[in-house]
C-alpha cells in the first residue's frame, strides 16, 4: 500500500524517480511509491490517498476508493477527467508557478538577444566575418505582457531594473496588476501600439484563440518582437508568416507553434529573425523540487485541517 502514488510519466525527460525522492525528502512519514507499470497503477491507486502525475484516466479514477487528491504535474488541467474527479469529490491541484522563473528568463533572454543583435553576431561568427552592426537598447522600450498569471508576473518581476515601460493585458483589467498600464483582451490593439516587445503568457481559450492576428500585427510597430510561451494557436500562424514576409514586425521567438511540432518544411524555419525552441522554455532542473514543495505544502495543510480544500493551486470542480 502507498499513501502517495507517483505515476510513471516523466516531465521534460527527467526521471520521475527524482520527483518521488523530492516528495520523500519533504514527507518522510508518508509511504511514497512510483507506479512503474499500468498494472501497478491499478493496484496502487485502490488505496492511495494522493495520486500525482500529468494525466489520469476515468477508469483509474473510478478505481480510486480512498483518493483525496490528484496533484497534477502540469499547469494546465483541461485534459483531465474533471467531471469524474468532481463526482468522486477528489480535489485537484496543478503545478502552476513551477514554470514561472525559467519561462520568464526565456522571454526576457529572447528580447535581449534581439535588442543586442546576438543572432547577427552568431551568423557573423559562423561565417568568420569581423564587421560591426547596429543594435538597440532594451532600456527605454515599451514592453507588453499578455497574461498576468504566475508566468506573466514572473516576466514583469524580471523586467525590474531594465528601465522599461510595462503594459499588461489580462481578462480582468479592473484588478490592476504589476505593470504600468493594464488593458483587457478586447483592448489588445491599444496595448501593443508603440510597443517594441510583446510577450504572450496567457492560457488558450475561446477568447485568446488567434488573439494575435493580421490586424494586431498591423497595429504593432514594424520593429516589434513577438515572443510566444503561451500556446501556439494564440497566434494566427498564417498572419505571422505574412507579417514576417512583409517586414511588418521585427522578429519572433516561438517556444510554441501551431501546428506543433512544427513540420520540417514550414516557412517559419527559414526566417533569420525567428527563433524557434521546441516547447522547451518550461525545462528547469528545479522542476520536481518546486512541484514537490507545492504537493507537500498541500498535504501538510490537509493533515492540519482534516480537509482537502483551500489548497494551493486548487481547481474548483
Q: Catalytic amino acids?
A: 231, 260, 279
Burial 244-282 (b: 16+ CB within 10 A, else e): beeebbbbbbbbbbbeeebeeeeebeeeeebbbeebebb
Residue 71 backbone phi and psi in degrees, to 5: -100, 100
Residues in the chain: 317
- 177 vs 156: CA distance, rounded Å: 10
| Contacts of residue 187, Cβ cutoff 8 Å, sequence gap at least 6 | 169, 173
> Counting runs of H as helices and runs of E as strands, what totals does the chain give?
11, 12
Residue 181 backbone phi and psi in degrees, to 5: -135, 155
| Beta strands 91-93 and 225-228, pairing class | unpaired
| Contacts of residue 88, Cβ cutoff 8 Å, sequence gap at least 6 | 61, 62, 64, 67
Asked if residue 235 lies in contact with residue 210, where contact means CB atoms within 8 angstroms, the answer is yes
Asked if residue 287 lies in contact with residue 18, where contact means CB atoms within 8 angstroms, the answer is no
- 215 vs 283: CA distance, rounded Å: 33
Asked if residue 161 lies in contact with residue 139, where contact means CB atoms within 8 angstroms, the answer is no
- 257 vs 62: CA distance, rounded Å: 35
Cis ω on the peptide bond leading into residue 259 (within 30° of 0)?
A: yes
Q: CA torsion sign, 238 to 239 to 242 to 243? A: negative
Amino acid at each position: 500500500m502507498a499513501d502517495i502514488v507517483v505515476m510513471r510519466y516523466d516531465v521534460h525527460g527527467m526521471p520521475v524517480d527524482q520527483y518521488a525522492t523530492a516528495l520523500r525528502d519533504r514527507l518522510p512519514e508518508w509511504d511514497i511509491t512510483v507506479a512503474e507499470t499500468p498494472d501497478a497503477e491499478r493496484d496502487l491507486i485502490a488505496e492511495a490517498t494522493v495520486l500525482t502525475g500529468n494525466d489520469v484516466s476515468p477508469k483509474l479514477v473510478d478505481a480510486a476508493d480512498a483518493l483525496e487528491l490528484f496533484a497534477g504535474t502540469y499547469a494546465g488541467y483541461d485534459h483531465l477527467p474533471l467531471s469524474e474527479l468532481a463526482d468522486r469529490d477528489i480535489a485537484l491541484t496543478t503545478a502552476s508557478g513551477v514554470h514561472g522563473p525559467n519561462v520568464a528568463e526565456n522571454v526576457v533572454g529572447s528580447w535581449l538577444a534581439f535588442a543586442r543583435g546576438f543572432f547577427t553576431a552568431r551568423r557573423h561568427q559562423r561565417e568568420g566575418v569581423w564587421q560591426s552592426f547596429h543594435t538597440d537598447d532594451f532600456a527605454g522600450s515599451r514592453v507588453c505582457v499578455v497574461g498576468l498569471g504566475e508566468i506573466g508576473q514572473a516576466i514583469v518581476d524580471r523586467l525590474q531594473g531594465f528601465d522599461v515601460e510595462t503594459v499588461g493585458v489580462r481578462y480582468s483589467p479592473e484588478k490592476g496588476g504589476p505593470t504600468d498600464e493594464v488593458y483587457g483582451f478586447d483592448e489588445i490593439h491599444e496595448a501593443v501600439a508603440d510597443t517594441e516587445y510583446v510577450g504572450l503568457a496567457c492560457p488558450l481559450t475561446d477568447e485568446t484563440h488567434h488573439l494575435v492576428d493580421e490586424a494586431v500585427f498591423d497595429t504593432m510597430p514594424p520593429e516589434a518582437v513577438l515572443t510566444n510561451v503561451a500556446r501556439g494557436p494564440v497566434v494566427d500562424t498564417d498572419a505571422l508568416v505574412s507579417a514576417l514576409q512583409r517586414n511588418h514586425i521585427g522578429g519572433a521567438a516561438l517556444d510554441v507553434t501551431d501546428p506543433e511540432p512544427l513540420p520540417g518544411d514550414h516557412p517559419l524555419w527559414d526566417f533569420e529573425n525567428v527563433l524557434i525552441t521546441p516547447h522547451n522554455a518550461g525545462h528547469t532542473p528545479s522542476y520536481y523540487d518546486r512541484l514537490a514543495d507545492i504537493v507537500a505544502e498541500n498535504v501538510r495543510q490537509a493533515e492540519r485541517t482534516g480537509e482537502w480544500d483551500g489548497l494551493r493551486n486548487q481547481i474548483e470542480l
